[in-house]
Amino acid sequence: MAWNEGYVVEEAYTSGFFRKQSPVHLSVACALNGFEPVDTRKPFTYLELGSGQGFTANVLAAANPHAQFFAADFMPGHVVTAQELADAARLGNVTHLENSFAELAAGAADLPPLDFITMHGVYSWINPENRRHIVDLVARYLKPGGILYVSYNALPGWSAATPLQRLVIEHARVHPQRLGTQVTQAKALIDQLVDAKAYYFTSNQESTVLRSRLDSWARDKPVYLAHEYLNASWQALYHADVVRDFAAAKLDFAASAELCMNVDPRQLPDDQRAIVESIDDPVLRETVLDYIQNTAFRSDIFIRGARRMSPARRQQWWDQIGVALTVPRRFATLGQPVEEGAKGFASPLLDMLEDGPMSVLELAERNRCAPDAIANVISLLVWHDQGAPFIVSAQSPAKAASVRLNTEVALDAVLNDRYQALASPLLGSGISSSALQRLVYHALCERPQPVDRNALTQWIWQVLTDQGPPIILHHDPLPDRETELQEIGRAVDDILALRAPIWHQLHMV
């Protein structure tokens, strides 16, 4: 078989940042769900498998300079891109490896015992043999008490949309053109079938997952669609099967890294709650919850030797978990329906966080509520990408590495829009950042204070113009240069007034 083993290698994968892979986030998720976490304030070791262009690993390495990171991908182009950014930011604590899963499982790389192993999406894109290599690798390197994160396309949620993926694969098999052409032609075939009212589409028109997949075909870039649909071994998986895979490496399922997916049965309708509470087996219980929610994507956390915390120990961890806003207060709504239903509780709490990050216990005391209620707000903030948890430390976080990486990311924004996050040493993670925000960050690094707002607006306009028209700040192209300058100027004012203070709170500048 070819070296790629059916995996798409013609085009590089996108360089996204995936915050659920943050070691701090994973440890907090364990603690919130009653499992002993890894204390990320101490030195730790971390490996990302299938790291793509390495941006997530580079951000995490910058945000956790006391830890040692490894990132492995078998595409040489990915690895060299990742290493270039790491070198530019002088990140001495991250190593980018060009290795297959089989090579890593066999010990080809000089890896230490690991506290964390993570992979995003990879597990449902590879063949069974490579999944076995991953299990062997985890068994070989993950420490007792170590955390594994694995996300994957899941059943039963993907059931209605799986035939769509098969259609794309079959089309590609008989049309072996370049990936971009394959994606374009597959999209045309899908559109023709939808317009012709093919019964598969009309009979599944109530499926939210299929609708989201069709929306993705209309919206997303060809390179993403190629990696999502054209891998020959693509397979949506049941949670129960993934649990049994990693049981061979002595791992126990602990929780979902998507905090809102850790369902308290008390939140379910009475009839669903009765079913869930009647099930003692944890695997069957989680599987039934997947059927109740029609889960299409899972973000599972496993622990090698999971230990339940006592109530007293859990209370200790409540005092060590904090939460911070990652967006201006005016945008921290927790989603409109939630805000309306929780106005009496959530709004005052968010107002407190506007002044800066706070611990869970401090927020609970000020709001005269249980820590569990604060945990629910953390879950919603993370779900809406409006906030993030962190682990409270007596020491101020070392920020030099994060500032170096952020400076390089902001400089890169002058040329393109590929790196869409900045590192925060307080969070031990990254936060989403638009092109305009990164360009303002670049200006704050390069130019003396105070910022000349008009000169900055003109410079950003010229950068965006050089990158290629049209300039789009919201949804539609702007009609003329004057309007472009006005809208950019308003955005710059908001970033300087609202975003820059958050960068200071999160020790990013």
- Mark residue 185 as left, alpha or beta (left: phi above 0; alpha: psi -120 to 50; beta: remaining): alpha
Query: In CATH, which superfamily holds the domain spanning 19-156+236-304?
Result: Vaccinia Virus protein VP39 (3.40.50.150)
* pLDDT (0 to 100) of residue 180: 76
CA dist 494 and 450 (Å) reads: 15
Residue 245 to residues 121, 248, 446, Cα–Cα distance (Å): 16, 6, 50
**Element (H or E) spanning 195, and its range?**
helix 179-195
Angle at CA of residue 85, ends 79 and 90, nearest 5° = 120
Q: Maximum CA pair distance of the chain?
A: 65
> pLDDT tens across 157-197, in order?
999 999 998 998 888 888 776 777 888 888 899 999 999 99
- Average pLDDT, stretch 495-501? 94
Instruction: Decide: 229 and 169 in contact? Cβ < 8 Å.
Output: yes
The domains of the chain are located at: 19-156+236-304, 174-227, 323-391, 400-505
CA dist 360 and 322 (Å) reads: 5
- Average pLDDT, stretch 446-454? 78
Q: pLDDT-based confidence at 244, cuts 50/70/90? A: very high
- Average pLDDT, stretch 470-481? 74
Q: pLDDT-based confidence at 2, cuts 50/70/90? A: very low
CA dist 63 and 343 (Å) reads: 34
* pLDDT (0 to 100) of residue 9: 42
* pLDDT (0 to 100) of residue 345: 67
* pLDDT (0 to 100) of residue 479: 78
Percent of the chain with pLDDT over 90: 68
Quick check: 5 pLDDT over 50? no
Query: What is the rounded average pLDDT for all residues in the chain?
Result: 90
Quick check: 1 pLDDT over 50? no
What strand order describes the sheet that includes 387-391? 358-359, 321-325, 387-391
**Element (H or E) spanning 323, and its range?**
strand 321-325
Phi first, then psi: what are they for 208, rounded to 5°? -65, -35
* pLDDT (0 to 100) of residue 263: 82
Structure tokens at 418: 């590929």
Q: pLDDT-based confidence at 266, cuts 50/70/90? A: confident
> pLDDT tens across 107-163, in order?
999 999 999 999 998 999 899 999 999 999 999 999 999 999 999 999 999 999 999
> pLDDT tens across 197-225, in order?
999 999 998 888 899 988 988 888 887 78
Q: pLDDT-based confidence at 267, cuts 50/70/90? A: confident
* pLDDT (0 to 100) of residue 460: 92
Quick check: 341 pLDDT over 70? no
